[in-house]
């Protein structure tokens, strides 16, 4: 991989976008590499959580490849949008939690990438925004769709219509991120969050994500029916027996088998 670094630490995958010359902008080459790496991640059953971050001190992902877009026609633009949306949807639908560790600029496509993740930990130096209108564009990778669902429609409209960048503390205030930490503590904090997730029953975490994602935009009662189905599935797992027995025996060393 030329622009990505991927490593596995026990049950945790760590994916770093590394194209620092362009502030980790999302080129077609990076999307191709992301597609390959995501397929590899899906094939590795031991991975139960993923952290995505950017290389360097300045940017998580500063946006799209503006030079490429400046030379693109309508058909090429549509294809670029479809490719990015396909990758982000693949990230969103991974069967385990995905944490964005935002170390710097998360603008345009970078902000949209965080929206496709389950949780976001941000450096106090991070900045977020959807500045596409300043380039004569709309967001192209579901910013107009995911952002209102996460921060509310009025705040999303404000961010998109003005193109204004917001700092990490404001991103926390509006619910765009889960936590803001000192820059030097970013990865440590993301790793701690991953560890809190990984200590729990993997099947229960997976089914919880499925229930939230599949039920969020639909009818409440259909969502409740889905939750009931997934809740009851847990009763057939070894992890359910392990968890409930350990609780009743007041054990603190419960270890789940993912079965």
Residue 112 annotated to the active site:
yes
174 DSSP 8-state letter: T
- Residue 63's nearest CA partner among 103, 19, 119, 24 is 24
Residues 6+ apart with CB under 8 A from 26: 17, 61, 63, 64, 65, 84, 109, 110, 113
Judged by DSSP in three states, 25 sits in coil
- Residue 243's nearest CA partner among 254, 232, 259 is 254
- H or E, element range at 202: helix 202-215
What region, left, alpha or beta, does residue 98 occupy, with left being phi > 0 and alpha being psi -120 to 50 degrees? beta
Q: Which is catalytic among the residues 2, 132, 188, 249?
A: 132
Token pair belonging to 22? 């362009």
Give the whole-angstrom CA distance, residue 115 versus residue 87: 12
| Residue carrying structure tokens 């619910």 | 175
Q: Which is catalytic among the residues 2, 40, 112, 192?
A: 112
Residue 132 annotated to the active site:
yes
Residues noted as catalytic: 112, 132
């Amino acid at each position: 991989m030329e622009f990505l670094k991927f490593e596995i630490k026990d049950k945790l995958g760590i994916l770093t976008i590394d194209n620092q010359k362009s502030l980790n902008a999302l080129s077609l080459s990076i999307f191709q590499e992301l597609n390959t790496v995501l397929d590899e991640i899906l094939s590795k059953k031991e991975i139960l959580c993923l952290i995505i971050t950017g290389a360097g001190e300045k940017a998580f992902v500063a946006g799209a490849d503006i030079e490429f877009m400046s030379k693109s026609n309508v058909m090429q633009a549509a294809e670029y949008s479809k490719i990015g949306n396909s990758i982000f949807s693949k990230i969103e639908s991974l069967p385990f939690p995905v944490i964005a560790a935002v170390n710097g600029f998360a603008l345009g496509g970078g902000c949209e990438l965080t929206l496709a993740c389950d949780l976001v930990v941000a450096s106090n130096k991070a900045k977020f925004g959807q500045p596409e209108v300043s380039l004569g564009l709309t967001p192209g990778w579901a910013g107009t769709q995911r952002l209102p669902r996460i921060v509310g429609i009025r705040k999303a409209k404000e961010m998109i219509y003005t193109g204004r960048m917001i700092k990490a503390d404001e991103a926390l205030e509006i619910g765009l991120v889960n936590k803001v930490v000192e820059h030097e503590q970013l990865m440590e904090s993301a790793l701690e969050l991953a560890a809190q997730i990984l200590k729990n029953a993997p099947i229960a975490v997976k089914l919880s994500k499925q229930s939230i994602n599949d039920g969020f935009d639909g009818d409440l009662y259909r969502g409740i029916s889905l939750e009931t189905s997934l809740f009851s599935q847990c009763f057939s797992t070894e992890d359910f027996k392990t968890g409930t027995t350990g609780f009743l025996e007041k054990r603190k060393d419960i270890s789940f088998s993912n079965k």
